């Protein structure tokens, strides 16, 4: 554990990340003005796929996939000339979000923002610009499977070390990848996106393709071609992290699971 990241004993068990530019306060809900749907997108919950879907439905000429940061908010209410005060249920708006198992989201964040390696080797040109969100020790994504440490065990150990660090230092609250899902919903507007006010609450598990279609049905819209493109019935679209193995390989003991739950 990197003691340099541990706050003094009297400080709250949360910490900022001075390096990050992906701050929570920059997030906004995405909207489909024609259909009056407001959607609070949560980083590491298929956010790239949702921004692509919303930009497509809104007819915006934006990049597809993990690309330009500005495109993630191209369909945000401020960028489409919508005033937040006008987005109300009384004005006919509906509200939705998708969430994810917190442990799986935490693991996904680590695998996405904490690999250290040549961006070309990682087959993701902009990866070097994503590493500032790690907010802690990084792991060598290009580590060869040789020597006393096999690649998979090295990454598992690196992940568990990160959990121990965060348990001791507190959750990184300023970066949108590490922030809790509740914190993101609060940023979008808690009164609009709290669970008991949602018209649709999807979960990144099971048949996500059908869930997205059902969400659009709540506002009378159907675009199966677009949904099938960004949320395929088979497989997973979009970029993935650089952790080999399955979640049970990483979260395989009580200490690690309890640590994530504590966070």
The count of other CB atoms within 10 Å of the CB of residue 142 is 12
3-class SS at 253? coil
Phi-psi region of 156 (alpha: psi -120 to 50; beta: other; left: phi over 0): alpha
Half-sphere exposure of 22 (CA within 13 A, CB side): 22
Query: Cα torsion for 209, 215, 220, 224, to the nearest 10°?
Result: -10
The parent domain of residue 19 ranges over 3-262
pLDDT in tens, 176-197: 999 999 999 999 999 999 999 9
Half-sphere exposure of 17 (CA within 13 A, CB side): 24
Mean pLDDT on 166-177 = 89
Residue 64's pLDDT band (cuts 50, 70, 90) = confident
Mean pLDDT on 97-112 = 95
Q: State the total domains in the chain.
A: 1
Question: What pLDDT sits at residue 69?
Answer: 64
What is the pTM for the complete model shown? 0.86
The whole-angstrom separation of Cα 81 and Cα 243 is 40
Q: Of 109, 124, 116, 152, which Cα lies nearest the Cα of 244?
A: 152
3-class SS at 181? helix
What separation in angstroms does the CA of 89 have from each of 38, 81, 151, 160, 193?
10, 18, 51, 44, 11
Per-residue tokens: 49? 């796929």
Question: What pLDDT sits at residue 189?
Answer: 96
3-class SS at 151? helix
Question: What pLDDT sits at residue 130?
Answer: 66
3-class SS at 202? strand
More confident of the two residues 188 and 67: 188
pLDDT in tens, 87-97: 999 999 999 99
What separation in angstroms does the CA of 216 have from each of 170, 202, 223, 255?
37, 11, 8, 40
Question: What pLDDT sits at residue 117?
Answer: 63
Q: Of 218, 188, 181, 175, which Cα lies nearest the Cα of 40?
A: 188
The residue behind tokens 């939705």 is 96
Question: What pLDDT sits at residue 21?
Answer: 75
Q: Which residues does residue 200 pair with via DSSP β-bridges, in sequence order?
A: 96
The residue behind tokens 């019935």 is 233
Mean pLDDT on 9-17 = 60
The whole-angstrom separation of Cα 8 and Cα 246 is 35
């Amino acid at each position: 554990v990197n003691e340099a990241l541990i706050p003094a004993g009297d400080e709250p068990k949360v910490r900022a990340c001075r390096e990050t530019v992906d701050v929570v306060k920059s997030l906004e809900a995405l909207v489909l003005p024609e259909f009056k749907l407001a959607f609070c997108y949560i980083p590491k919950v298929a956010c790239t796929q949702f921004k692509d879907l919303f930009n497509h439905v809104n007819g915006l000429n934006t990049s597809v996939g993990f690309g330009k940061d500005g495109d993630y908010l191209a369909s945000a209410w401020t960028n489409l000339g919508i005033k937040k005060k006008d987005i109300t249920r009384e004005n006919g708006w509906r509200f939705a979000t998708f969430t994810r198992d917190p442990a799986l989201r935490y693991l996904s964040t680590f695998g996405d923002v904490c690999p250290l390696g040549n961006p070309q080797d990682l087959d993701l040109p902009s990866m070097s610009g994503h590493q500032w969100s790690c907010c802690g020790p990084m792991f060598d994504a290009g580590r060869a499977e040789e020597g006393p440490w096999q690649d998979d065990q090295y990454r598992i150990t690196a992940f568990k070390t990160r959990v121990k660090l965060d348990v001791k230092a507190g959750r990184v609250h300023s970066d949108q990848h590490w922030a809790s899902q509740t914190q993101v919903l609060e940023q979008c507007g808690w009164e609009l996106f709290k669970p008991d006010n949602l018209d649709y609450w999807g979960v990144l598990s099971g048949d996500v393709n059908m869930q997205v279609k059902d969400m659009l049905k709540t506002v009378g819209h159907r675009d199966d071609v677009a949904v099938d493109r960004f949320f395929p019935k088979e497989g997973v679209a979009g970029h993935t992290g650089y952790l080999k193995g399955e979640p049970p390989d990483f979260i395989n003991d009580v200490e690690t699971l309890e640590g994530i739950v504590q966070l």
